[in-house]
Every structure is written in C-alpha cells, then in structure tokens.
Amino acid sequence: MGNTSEDILSTLANRLIRLDKQITEKEKTNFAEQANGHTISHVVKELLNAYDPDTVESLKLKIESSKPGASPNELASAFNHQHSTLIAEAVAIFNNPELRNFIVDVRKKYDQVIDGINIDTITNIGWVKDQEAAAAGTISNFTAWIQAHKDEITALQIFYGQPYRRRELTYKMISDLYEKITTEQPLLSPLHVWRAYEQLGQASGSAKNELTALVSLIRTITDIDCALTSYDKTVDKNF
C-alpha cells in the first residue's frame, strides 16, 4: 500500500467491517484463503491497532525503557522505525493481488443496487429506453463471460467439450460457478439474465432459483438445448 496514514487505515478497516456483515460464510472462507488464513475481523484488528493510542503509548514506553539516556531525537527515530514496522505488518496482507482483487469484486457485488421487486416498473418508466437492446446486451455479456471461462472452470469444461461426463456434474460445481459469476459480474446473475431472455420472448417457463436458471442458461449457450427452457422441464435430470 502507498498511503498508510491513520485516516486511510481507519477507512479501510470500516469498509472491511461493513463487508464482513454483508458477505456469505463461503465468501468469508474465500477471504481467509487469500489472507493467509486470517479472518476479516483479525485484519481489521491489526489495521486499527497500528494507530491505537494505547498501542502507540506502549511502544513509546518500551523504547524509552530499552534506551535509557537516549536523546529525544534518538527516541523519536527509534519510535518512528518501530511504528512504521507495525504499520507495514498490518497492511502486508494487502500485498497479495489476489486478495485485493477478491475484495474489489465482492464489494462490487454488494455495492451494486439491483431492485428485484421493482425492476419491471423502473424499466417501463424509461430508465432503460431501449429495453430490447439492453436485454440483448445482458445476454451477450453473459455468453461472453461463459465462453471466456470455459477452459478454466470444470463445470464449463464438461458442458462444452465432455458431454459423456455430464452426469459427473455436482451441486457444488454449479454453486461455485454461480458464486464466481455473481462476485465478478453482479449484473449477470442467472435470474437477471433469464429476465433478459424473457424480455426478448426467448424463454419458456420460469426458473425456480438462481442455480436452475444457471444450468438452463448454460445448456442453451452450449447448444445442448435449442431454446431456453426451465431446467425442471428437461428430461435429463442430471444436467
């Protein structure tokens, strides 16, 4: 990190506290995996501790007792060095670009305001002037995301190139795929994409939930199904 002032660390800590209240247990586990096993609360504690008055005072007293007879300048220099070390240790966790990217992505997910109840009303009163163009854009973006990740995600590899393994797909595979999509691209949540298909008159039936919508969407994109159909209407119950 560049700026490690008290205001910056305090702001970062407060944002992490808010994020900790918003995210799921799975996302908290993902955070810890990127943060050397540390929880958000631990990281917050370290950030706040770096400028805590009691911590600062304790550090000064420790230096003074270890350097009897030192001049004020020497004591100040020693304090600045050790305090800088304490701050560096508190923010070192953010040197991991994967953790930084995870925080950015998951914040997008929860900072993005999507009105699921009034979405049709908002659309119809002109917030999205060209509804069909917006729907087509959503579908195009979702398709592009799926195709861009088809070689790195096991579930997509099976859908695209290994149909004989389709029965090996598990709930966890689909759930993990859903988490990745909605974390990286909140506006591409499966039910939101499903509504885009409905807007264009290209969906048959309604999806029961996000995961069944995701399975049906992928089946359509990979040409397993010729049209978007609610998964519970398909014959192959194992995807």
Q: Could you tell me which residues come within 8 angstroms of residue 27 by beta carbon, excluding any fewer than 6 positions away?
A: 106, 179, 183
CA atoms within 13 A on the CB side of 37: 0
> What is the rounded average pLDDT of the residues 36-50?
93
- According to the model, what pLDDT value does residue 120 have? 45
**CB-based burial label for 133 (10 Å; 0-12, 13-18, 19+):** exposed
| Euclidean distance between CA atoms 239 and 227, whole angstroms | 15
User: Residue 60's pLDDT band (boundaries 50, 70, 90)?
Assistant: very high
- According to the model, what pLDDT value does residue 188 have? 85
- According to the model, what pLDDT value does residue 43 have? 94
Does position 200 have pLDDT exceeding 90, yes or no?
no
> What is the rounded average pLDDT of the residues 207-215?
85
- According to the model, what pLDDT value does residue 239 have? 42
The crossing angle, in degrees rounded to 10, of helices 40-49 and 6-22 is 160
Does position 164 have pLDDT exceeding 70, yes or no?
no
> What is the rounded average pLDDT of the residues 24-51?
93
User: Residue 58's pLDDT band (boundaries 50, 70, 90)?
Assistant: very high
Does position 152 have pLDDT exceeding 70, yes or no?
yes
Mean pLDDT comparison of 32-46, 112-126, 183-197, highest-scoring range: 32-46
**pTM of the predicted model, to two decimals?**
0.54
User: Residue 163's pLDDT band (boundaries 50, 70, 90)?
Assistant: low
Tell me the per-residue pLDDT of 87-102, one tens digit each, with 9 for 90 and over: 999 999 998 988 988 8
Average pLDDT value for the chain? 82
- According to the model, what pLDDT value does residue 143 have? 92
